[in-house]
Structure 1
């Protein structure tokens, strides 16, 4: 029975689902993982790229909709009173295109940023267009680099990949934590200077 379950892991539909779901957790690593799957021949490059972009769009849209829902749900509104979210609302109301581009490039702020888009009542059409453009540009850049390196070093990477992925995950998580700490420290310093 285990063998039959493992045989599904190479099925393209299963891999597409894994790529889409993985973007909900760690988007940039999901892009790199999809590119490496494509470079190793497990997925067609086009399918891997589209699955990555689809997962990013679904996740970002869900966060945006949670932010919009906070206007009618006091329970959600209370959950989104975090300073990192509230600090982004005013800039999003003033310059949504610019702010959406910055949010995409700042991995530590994405979750908070897309919720803030909903709270700031960024129009759905503006959010969707800006999000699709930023997803495509961001994913294309990371996917392209990872795919080229994956193709070039596929043989030597195969034996090291199982060791490198957990290490990359740990480095990424620690980097995200450090980025958030820096942002919170700057926020505390700014609030200390204001008062």
Structure 2
């Protein structure tokens, strides 16, 4: 079994891509075949029918939207809160483990495919050297570094078992921090969504303004990261 695992590790990225394609094809088929009318009803049916599977996959991609969905479904009773946190955390853990092993066993591929990200890799190595294991715990909340940090740690000699342990605890904390507040304030969130649906002409400008603020924040954060990367590059 260990020999099979070792042979598969160098192809972790390709395996992940294949699984993602199969998964979304499965969802698209079931969305089309849903025994209800209307796209919205079909989507809700899909979430209720395959909620945990979707949540696991969304967790692998580390999308907070999937966790928000899980929080709302937990509030309405269509999901179990504790199982949702467990499954979402496992998905986040699995995704980062794949990225870690891409770095560990595909170094030449990483160096050729991520040439434009050299400064980010340098920043990730510097953060790991400066802060140690807490950077593994915090990387899920670092815009623009979520994928880079696990891959860059894989490129080093960092112990795989230690990374896996910290990564698992971090993933479950990330899932709980996102899902629990949505579950707790679920009634208020559902009221807001219902109001937005009924008064879309008011909700649309608000959503655009909110979305624009988020884009502005992330652009600012990206420029800040770029500045740090340049400072590191100049130091080297």
- TM-score (norm. length: structure 1): 0.77
**What is the SS of the residue equivalent to 1:110?**
coil
Task: Rate the CA distance shift 1:177–1:29 in 2: closer, same or farther, 3 A.
Answer: farther
Alignment of 1:38-117 (within 5 A): 38-71=74-107, 74-81=108-115, 82=117, 83-92=119-128, 95-117=131-153
Work out the CA distance in 2 between the residues paired with 1:173 and 1:157.
21
Report the equivalent of 2:229: 187
Shift of 1:189: 4.7
Contact 2:136 2:167 in 1 (8 A): yes
Report the equivalent of 1:9: 46
Task: Rate the CA distance shift 1:80–1:98 in 2: closer, same or farther, 3 A.
Answer: same
Work out the CA distance in 2 between the residues paired with 1:3 and 1:139.
29
Work out the CA distance in 1 between the residues paired with 2:61 and 2:218.
13
**1:148 corresponds to 2:184:** yes
Report the equivalent of 1:35: 71
Task: Rate the CA distance shift 1:156–1:27 in 2: closer, same or farther, 3 A.
Answer: closer
Task: Rate the CA distance shift 1:173–1:115 in 2: closer, same or farther, 3 A.
Answer: farther
RMSD of Structure 2 on Structure 1 (CA): 3.2
Contact 2:60 2:93 in 1 (8 A): no
Contact 1:68 1:118 in 2 (8 A): yes
Extract unaligned runs of 5+ from structure 2: 1-31, 37-41
Extract unaligned runs of 5+ from structure 1: none
- TM-score (norm. length: structure 2): 0.66
Work out the CA distance in 2 between the residues paired with 1:113 and 1:103.
7
Deviations 1:108-155 (A, max 9, x none): 311111111111232111111111111122221222112111144434
Using the TM superposition, name which of 55-64 and 105-114 deviates more: 105-114
Q: Which structure has the larger Rg over C-alpha atoms?
A: 2
Task: Rate the CA distance shift 1:66–1:169 in 2: closer, same or farther, 3 A.
Answer: farther
How many residues end up aligned between the 2 structures? 190
Contact 2:67 2:175 in 1 (8 A): yes
Shift of 1:42: 2.6
